[in-house]
Amino acid sequence: MQAAAPIAENVRRCAHAVEAAFTAARVRLTMGGEPTFVPLQPAGAEWSGAALGPTKLSYARRFADALLATTLPGGVVIETPGKLYPGEDLPRWALQVHARTDGAPLWRNRALLRGDDTPGGSATVGCALALARALAGRLGLDPSHVLPVDERAGPTEVPVPRGCVLPLDDRDGTWISDHWVYPAGRVTVDEPGRWLGLRLPLGALPAGALRRALTVEARDGQLAVFVPPLLFEAYARLLAAIEDAVAAIDPGPLILAGYAPPAAPGFLALGLTPDPGVIEANLPPCATWEAYQSWLDALYRAADRVGLCARKLHFNGRTTGTGGGAHVCFGGPTPLESPFFARPDLIPSILHYWQRHPVLSYAFTGQYIGPTSQAPRPDETLPDRLGELALACEGAPEVCRPDALLQFDRLFRHLLADGGGNTHRTEISVDKLWNPLMPNGCLGLLEWRAFETQPTARALGHVGLLLRAILARLLARPCAEPFIDWGASLRDRFLLPSFLWLDLGAIIDDVRACGLPFDAAWLAEAWAFRFPCLGTLDTPHGTIEMRQALEVWPVLSEQDNGAITSRVVDSSLDRVEFRLADPAAAGRGRLLVNGRPLTLRREGEVCAAGVRFRAFTLPTSFHPHIPAHAPLSIEWADAVTGVVLAAARWHSWHPDGEAYPGLPADEAEAAARMVARWVRDDATRGARRAIPVADPGQAAHEYTLDLRRRCPPAWQASTPTTAGRP
């Protein structure tokens, strides 16, 4: 693997302190991640909501090829059967990039592997037969064991030649084969699917026949070799033989497909898979944060080479994550060495700490948050879940032992789930902890799902370092403080960036008190990405800053969309935060939003509040009788005279109400569109407002003014005047 991008020395010192804390706790903690990527200019359903589409596999192949070119010389790319999801007829594809950790090549000539998925080539079925027979000879097998394979499009269709099959397995380092007997010495497949190797009629073979095989097929002028399930060393020997055979007959670049070998010492695997709207990259387990950061650097560098990125630009200029998440996993070098088994108090500490700090749930995740999102908090699902979770945490020391791991897993499984019982859709998932009933369910892993991709590898890596530092702190000093009933403040105070930052500051102070010198400044890039500044209003009493805040979008009832029934969210709701730079000036003026007074809340050096509003209308939404509140009218009026001292308007869309010609071409154009949405309103300066003391849309204890709540008409009345104009 090539050298990673340089890490700032102060960041490196913190990372070393974190690793030293794990050593002191006698714990080895691995971490992995699943950052997601999209094209610079995504188009089509495959980049908005569908998992598969016409260009996604080609992007993934070029992504994998770029990793071989920049990071893993001597590696190889193989297409493996992916997951089969409900409602889908066939498993999805999945690419895996394999390499040796000692640097020895698995595949020497990258030019012999296809680096994309575009049709084209001159390979024929005859080439496939020639390659299979040449390979049999190199493996010391009888070439007569190679049988032609025909493919039939349907039960009544005439079969056409597609490729060939070689029965193949490894037994104690020796290749073995078999003579399959089929009618006319040919194999016919007629089930739908991508590769012949997944559709062979093995059930027609007699008992005792070898049931593993390699296939070679010609499709769209390209050759593809499908390898059978093998252990790593046999897999490596087979790849070397395939490369030699391909070089000898020169059929053009090859596609490798088949089964990936199981994990083994000296074997490295990185996955690229299709998820709704994105390509997901599955990192190999990393023993340290520096290794994790190095992999992130490699991924972002390779993605950039092929036109992929880790952000989306919206029509109105807003920049967000890909929407596919960037989940983080922690575990041990082997499943039974997982620190979650070695330290019975660790999972209870994690659950208590995360619940007590909502910033960890909301500050680094995607746009869609709340009880029906992909990563709800335990206290967002069932009202009594915290009490039950406390009981489970009390029982952890009793069942966290080698002979009771299944019971330990089930201790949390039924509580760490969404409102419908889905254990995958939750903030902290135990799906891969110790569940023998699931594939890859016994890995000793916890998965944190409330994390979104960041536009740069550095920003995402710094978030990962914060998580690793928190876990080091919890190992040194377990969190035994009780759960907190946040009540309404979870949807009020903790959806505003200023108050989330206070919570984050408490975490960083806590981490630093354990000797881990984490600096809040390292999260500034991620914070600005999550909570961008939308505009500033300069007043005689100081600057007022408006930032993007968070909103919990409600889920609507089921809707019939032709052949399917779906549920959508009402994304027309939005929330912004207003913060006064000088808290001491709060009594000198009043902030009006759409003519309604906003009461700023003071905590320490923070003086801020939020406004919840309807940004635009949708055909189907909550409260269809409420119109859009945008553009927002923002005014700062003198507290005594009511004279407007500064004013602006903020538009959710184009300031002139026009349609944008398309998505922004780049970050610069997106930024220009964002700037254009904030418009100074000098004509309003000098107007006099009748300012009430409070607004029923913001109760005395609330941090957010909800413009959807009605107020008396008299409160909305204001008469422009020149009296008192400064």
Residues 6+ apart with CB under 8 A from 222: 114, 119, 120, 121, 123, 252, 253, 254, 255
Instruction: Assess contact for 29 and 339: CB atoms under 8 A.
Output: yes
Q: Are residues 495 and 640 in the same domain?
A: no
Instruction: Assess contact for 409 and 432: CB atoms under 8 A.
Output: no
Q: How many CB atoms lie within 10 A of CB 522?
A: 20
pLDDT exceeds 50 at position 279: yes
Closest among 118, 116, 111, 76 to 96, alpha carbons compared: 76
Q: Are residues 212 and 323 in the same domain?
A: no
Bridge partners, 482 (sequence order): none
Residue 21 carries which side chain, given as an amino acid letter? A
Q: What is the pLDDT of residues 140-195, one digit of tens each?
A: 999 999 999 999 888 778 899 999 999 999 999 999 999 999 988 999 998 777 89
Bridge partners, 161 (sequence order): 150
495 secondary structure, DSSP code: G
Q: Are residues 590 and 712 in the same domain?
A: yes
Cis ω for the linkage preceding 397 (within 30 of 0): no
pLDDT at 444: 94
Q: Is residue 345 part of a domain?
A: yes
Q: Is residue 82 part of a domain?
A: no
Closest among 558, 555, 628, 611 to 369, alpha carbons compared: 555
pLDDT at 4: 62
CA 18/CA 475 separation, integer angstroms: 11
Phi, psi for residue 215 in degrees, rounded to 5: -120, 150
pLDDT at 716: 47
Q: Which of 19-28, 120-129, 165-174, 188-197 has the lowest mean pLDDT?
A: 188-197
CA 141/CA 215 separation, integer angstroms: 15
Based on the number of CB atoms within 10 Å of its own CB, is 520 exposed (0-12), middle (13-18) or buried (19 or more)?
middle
CA 583/CA 589 separation, integer angstroms: 11
pLDDT at 215: 98
Q: Are residues 480 and 585 in the same domain?
A: no
Closest among 211, 201, 195 to 257, alpha carbons compared: 195
Q: Which of 155-159, 376-380, 612-616, 717-721 has the lowest mean pLDDT?
A: 717-721
pLDDT at 691: 80
pLDDT exceeds 70 at position 668: yes
Q: Are residues 242 and 319 in the same domain?
A: no
Q: What is the pLDDT of residues 527-562, one digit of tens each?
A: 999 999 999 999 999 999 999 999 999 888 877 665
Q: Is residue 53 part of a domain?
A: no
Q: Is residue 263 part of a domain?
A: no
CA distances from 352 to 358, 372, 382, 385, 474 (A): 11, 21, 17, 13, 10
Q: What is the pLDDT of residues 289-314, one digit of tens each?
A: 999 999 999 999 999 999 999 999 99
pLDDT exceeds 60 at position 283: yes
Q: What is the pLDDT of residues 77-94, one digit of tens each?
A: 999 998 888 878 788 999
Instruction: Assess contact for 540 and 581: CB atoms under 8 A.
Output: no
Measured at the CA of 386, the angle between CA 380 and CA 388, to 5 degrees, comes to 130
Instruction: Assess contact for 139 and 132: CB atoms under 8 A.
Output: no
pLDDT at 718: 45
CA 93 to chain centre: 18
CA 267/CA 586 separation, integer angstroms: 61
Can you give the length of the chain in residues?
726
Phi, psi for residue 176 in degrees, rounded to 5: -130, 155
Percent of the chain topping pLDDT 90: 78
pLDDT at 115: 85
Instruction: Assess contact for 188 and 159: CB atoms under 8 A.
Output: yes
Q: Are residues 506 and 537 in the same domain?
A: no
Q: Are residues 336 and 470 in the same domain?
A: yes
Q: Are residues 174 and 223 in the same domain?
A: yes
Q: Are residues 478 and 548 in the same domain?
A: no
pLDDT exceeds 50 at position 363: yes
Q: How many CB atoms lie within 10 A of CB 58?
A: 14
Q: Is residue 73 part of a domain?
A: no
pLDDT exceeds 90 at position 127: yes
Rg (CA), the chain: 30
Domain end point (choices 203, 229, 250): 250
Bridge partners, 210 (sequence order): none
pLDDT exceeds 70 at position 216: yes
Region of 44 please: left (phi>0), alpha (psi -120 to 50) or beta: left
Instruction: Assess contact for 444 and 337: CB atoms under 8 A.
Output: yes
Q: Are residues 470 and 602 in the same domain?
A: no
**pLDDT-derived band at 1, boundaries 50, 70, 90:** low
pLDDT at 722: 36
pLDDT at 562: 57
For 557-591, b where at least 16 C-beta lie within 10 A, e where not — what string? Answer: eeeeeeeeeeeebbebbbbbbbbbeebebbebbbb
pLDDT at 560: 67
Closest among 112, 56, 306 to 224, alpha carbons compared: 112
Domain end point (choices 250, 269, 290): 250
203 secondary structure, DSSP code: G
pLDDT exceeds 80 at position 566: no
Q: Is residue 110 part of a domain?
A: no
Instruction: Assess contact for 82 and 93: CB atoms under 8 A.
Output: yes
Q: Are residues 547 and 614 in the same domain?
A: yes
Phi, psi for residue 556 in degrees, rounded to 5: -90, 170
Residues 6+ apart with CB under 8 A from 235: 227, 261
pLDDT at 723: 35
pLDDT at 564: 57
Q: Is residue 113 part of a domain?
A: no
Rounded average pLDDT over 621-625: 89
Number of continuous H segments (helices) and E segments (strands) in the chain: 15, 35
Residues 6+ apart with CB under 8 A from 355: 377, 378, 379, 386, 483, 484
Residues 6+ apart with CB under 8 A from 466: 507, 508, 511, 518, 522, 523
CA 724/CA 89 separation, integer angstroms: 72
Domain end point (choices 235, 250, 265): 250
Q: How many domains does the chain have?
A: 3
Range of the domain at 202: 120-250
The structure's pTM equals 0.93
Q: Is residue 270 part of a domain?
A: no
Average pLDDT over the chain, rounded to an integer: 92
User: Can you read off the two tokens belonging to residue 125?
Assistant: 């079925």
**pLDDT-derived band at 11, boundaries 50, 70, 90:** very high
Rounded average pLDDT over 388-412: 88
Q: How many CB atoms lie within 10 A of CB 617?
A: 11
pLDDT at 561: 63
pLDDT at 8: 94
Percent of the chain topping pLDDT 70: 96
pLDDT at 565: 54
Q: Are residues 241 and 382 in the same domain?
A: no
CA 195/CA 216 separation, integer angstroms: 9
